[in-house]
Amino acid sequence: MSDDLEPETLALHTGIHRSQFNEHSEAMYLTSSFVFESAAQAAARFSGEEPGNIYSRFTNPTVTAMQERLAALEGAEACVATSSGMSAILACVMGLLSAGDHIIASRSLFGATVSLFTNILNRFNIQTTFVSATDIDEWRAAVKVNTKLLFLETPSNPLTEISDISALSAVAKQANAWLVVDNCFCTPILQKPLELGADLVIHSATKYLDGQGRVLGGAVLGKRDLLMDGGIFGFLRTAGPTLSAFNAWVILKGMETLKIRMDTHCAHAIEIARWLEAQKSVSRVFYPGLSSHPQYELAKCQQTAGGGIVTFEVKGGKEAAWRVIDNTKLISITANLGDAKSTLTHPATTTHGRISQEARDAAGITDGLLRVAVGLESPQDLKADLARGLLS
Ligand SMILES: Cc1ncc(COP(=O)(O)O)c(C=O)c1O
């Protein structure tokens, strides 16, 4: 497939391997294992002498199709799919790092990522230093001789802070470390971290790539040698958090509409963000597409639009935030994001509820903060729904 095709075309025409039936919609291969023609072929497949499928924990044609489509969209040499976004992050760490290695990570990360780095990796003597998402000097100062990985999300969850990928790629190169970017909020439609110097991109495919809140999935993308020889694929194949064929098929088909969905999510989100800024009971709105966003200029260089997530702080703390949530009739009270249906979350007591108060304070996750993942409904209806619980 030609590299110069537009993303909406790539999303429809890559990863297609038709069976003998010449089906138009991609087939789903629900099988745990694959049959060999002879003992010699089985041995050749296992030794790697002959390419081909063996067992679906290793590879599966539907998963391969999903990987090819996402790789085409991200402009990546290779992609390995995982059972969730968290297992994509775990695969990077387990594939590339050893006990005694050091990670530098943004303080503004999804709560489970913070928990993985602090509560779990610590036990395996992999230490993490958390730094400001936006202050490059802090990243530079945190580099140690054993630093192997720099990890960030941009825009971050939930405050939509923007990290400078190119500048941090330079820091990583100087430190002889890998830069890993969680591109979940933007998707390759809005931002391509590999082009900006990241070594690896990870995705929670659970979010916009599926786009309708149906399945969990994840992916790691980057150079083939880093993914295949660097140990990431080896970890997944051995330890098992690979993507199921069913979930891969749902995500493969979900990606077909990614471009038009992202365009609509962004158009609706900016409208909601501007409207929230005008509400008396809202003290702050965090949205990279607003000129009031502290990294608005950087976001304009790095992303093609602001994304679908709008975070805002209401006056009156948790009580006021919960009032907004409990008065909605349309927007779903759920922790997921990237769904066609809008979702509303109180990060301090849900997605970030398990990290310490100290870490929440440092990350700026206040009790009055709400995150709306703006869906595909009419923005007018969404505004009316949010207005029900906002004090005028
Ligand atoms: C930015 C970000 N990264 C990673 C994850 C983890 O993804 P998953 O739930 O698919 O494991 C999430 C989940 O909300 C997320 O928001």
392 Cβ partners below 8 Å, 6+ apart?
A: 280, 281
What single-letter DSSP state applies at residue 32? S
pLDDT for 357 beyond 90: no
Ligand 1, from 206, 247, 334, 354: best to mutate by most atoms within 8 Å of Cβ? Answer: 206
Q: What is the mean pLDDT of residues 135-160?
A: 97
State the CB neighbour count (10 A cutoff) for residue 118. 16
Residue 2 confidence (pLDDT):
59
Q: How far is CA 234 from CA 49, 58, 207, 247, 296, in A?
A: 17, 9, 25, 21, 40
Cβ(341)–Cβ(214) under 8 Å?
Answer: no
Q: Which atom of ligand 1 is nearest to the CA of 337?
A: 14
* Residue whose CA lies nearest to ligand 1 atom number 9: 85
Global pTM value = 0.96
Ligand 1, from 82, 156, 180, 184: best to mutate by most atoms within 8 Å of Cβ? Answer: 184
pLDDT digits (tens, 9 = 90+) for 287-345: 999 999 999 999 999 999 999 999 999 999 999 999 999 999 999 999 899 999 999 99
Tell me the C-alpha distance between 272 and 159, whole Å. Answer: 16
Residue 3 confidence (pLDDT):
63
pLDDT for 392 beyond 80: no
Q: How far is the CA of 213 from the centre of ligand 1 (A)?
A: 12
Tell me if 7-255 shares its fold with 258-387. no
**Percent of the chain with pLDDT strictly greater than 90:** 93
Tell me the C-alpha distance between 345 and 332, whole Å. Answer: 9
Residue 364 confidence (pLDDT):
87
> Domain 7-255: which topology?
Aspartate Aminotransferase; domain 2 (3.40.640)
pLDDT digits (tens, 9 = 90+) for 175-232: 999 999 999 999 999 999 999 999 999 999 999 999 999 999 999 999 999 999 879 9
Q: What superfamily in CATH does domain 258-387 come from?
A: Aspartate Aminotransferase, domain 1 (3.90.1150.10)
| Domain boundary assignment for the chain | 7-255, 258-387
Ligand 1, from 93, 110, 210: best to mutate by most atoms within 8 Å of Cβ? Answer: 110
